[in-house]
Amino acid sequence: MKSIHTSVREQFSQHAEYYAQSSAHAKGDTLDVILDFADPKGTEKTLDIATGTGFTAFALAPKVSHVVATDLTPEMVTKASELAQEQAIKNITFSVAAAESLPFATASFDLVTVRLAPHHFQDVPKFLSEVHRVLRKDGLFCFVDSVSPESEKMIKWQNYVEKLRDDSHVFGYPPSQWDTMISNTGFEIEKTTHTRNAQMSFLWWVRPQKNPPEVVREIREAFAQLSTEEAKKHYTIEPDGDDFHFSWPMYAVKAKRTQ
């Protein structure tokens, strides 16, 4: 069986160009939330974990002292470094690194960010422990990611369809479990907010060019089994002929390292 790190690297090494051009990753509410929560003063030594092609890191760079941007997938980091050169961003450096084994000395950073990635991490408690370690005391951790609704049934459903579509998906926790894990790691949660990604076409999201028809059918059937209330309340589903549009719930946290 493939390790999660292998699955993630296979998934993302093929798609650096796609992510570099993805408007869903380049902008949107989730980037605004991270910038708002981070509220940089210009002096922060910053780490952006799972930077992908660098959107969050590039947005932070003019507002902080320095950004170190890491990702597990070398192709993503290479693309990000090319984009940084094109955009003449000088205060950014890159490293290939796993979120669960960060290659930095203890208390190296004032600010750590991660956006739209922890559902791919193989060990979230270990990742949080590493974020805690590399942050100085009173340093800030700001994250936003897709989450499951707060019910056992929906946690199971959402992770089932996400994993069917993309085997590099590991687990989307509900907000309450994020709060518990973050607090248990030694952070004090200062602010949280619920948001959503933009409405997506199911036929685009399900990636029919990559997933075989039987998998696409299985995912579509899973959506069809949602009650009308679940479909609307949790996923803002809107029918559109053969297609439908929907969004994932997102959760953002600003937490301070207090211990």
- Beta carbons of 40 and 61 less than 8 angstroms apart: no
Site for other proteins in 105-164 (CB under 8 A): 105-106, 108
Residue among 3, 91, 96, 110 nearest 49 (CA): 96
Instruction: State how far the Cα of 103 lies from the Cα of 13, in Å rounded to an integer.
Output: 21
Q: Which of 4, 49, 68, 237 binds other proteins (CB under 8 A)?
A: 68
196 binds other proteins (CB under 8 A): no
96 forms part of the interface with other proteins (CB under 8 A): yes
The token pair at 89 is 């961003």
Among 104, 160, 171, 205, binds other proteins (CB under 8 A): 104
Least distance between other proteins and beta carbon 111 (Å): 14
CA 175 to chain centroid, in Å, comes to 14
- Yes or no: say if 222 and 161 are a contact pair by the CB < 8 Å rule: yes
Distance CA 179, CA 188 (A): 10
| One residue of 93, 151, 180, 201 binding other proteins per CB under 8 A | 93
The nearest distance, CB 24 to other proteins, in angstroms, is: 25
Instruction: Examine residue 225 and tell whether it contacts other proteins (CB under 8 A).
Output: no
Q: Tell which one of 14, 27, 103, 208 touches other proteins (CB under 8 A).
A: 103
| Least Å from the CB of residue 78 to other proteins | 6
3-state secondary structure at position 138: strand
User: With contacts defined by CB under 8 A, how many residues of the chain interact with other proteins?
Assistant: 24
